[in-house]
Amino acid sequence: MSMEYSVPLYWRNRINYYRLIGGKCKKCGRIFFPPYNRCPYCGSDEIEPVELPRTGKLLTYTVSYNPPEGYKLQTPLIIGLVDLGVAKVVAQITDAQPDELKEGMDVEAVVRRIREDRTAGLIHYAYKFRPLVKQE
């Protein structure tokens, strides 16, 4: 596997990998994810970063038993659409098997390892979602 990112570039972008950062339009007030340079709703370029909630509802999900290269050890690969209340996010679902998931269940964001660049030794982490364990 060749190095896809340099260590300095990865380090500069680490906030976006580890935190759920969206964009908020100063003109229309809409929040969106991922953040863009222009508001997808009104076209304004007055965008500020906003941290999104770390909990939400699993709207739907799909399961891949033949995931792309680099994700083979994570089979079955579960990708879900999560509603955070202010924005919707597509992300990997972790710490659960497909038969344990239900549409509408509460989920929370966690940081997990996603892959390793063996050439550079760089380990890539990112947010994923897991079922929320209720404290009694």
Domain membership of residue 15 as a residue range:
7-19+53-131
Residue 15 lies in a domain: yes
Q: Which helix (H) or strand (E) holds 91?
A: strand 88-93
Residue 48 lies in a domain: no
pLDDT in tens, the chain (136 residues): 344 556 676 666 666 666 789 999 999 999 999 888 999 999 999 999 999 999 999 999 999 999 887 777 788 999 999 999 999 999 999 999 999 999 999 999 998 887 777 666 677 778 899 999 765 5
Domain with residue 94: its CATH number is 2.40.50
User: What does pTM read for this prediction?
Assistant: 0.81
> Torsion angle of alpha carbons 104, 114, 5, 23, nearest 10°?
20
CB count in 10 Å sphere of residue 52: 22
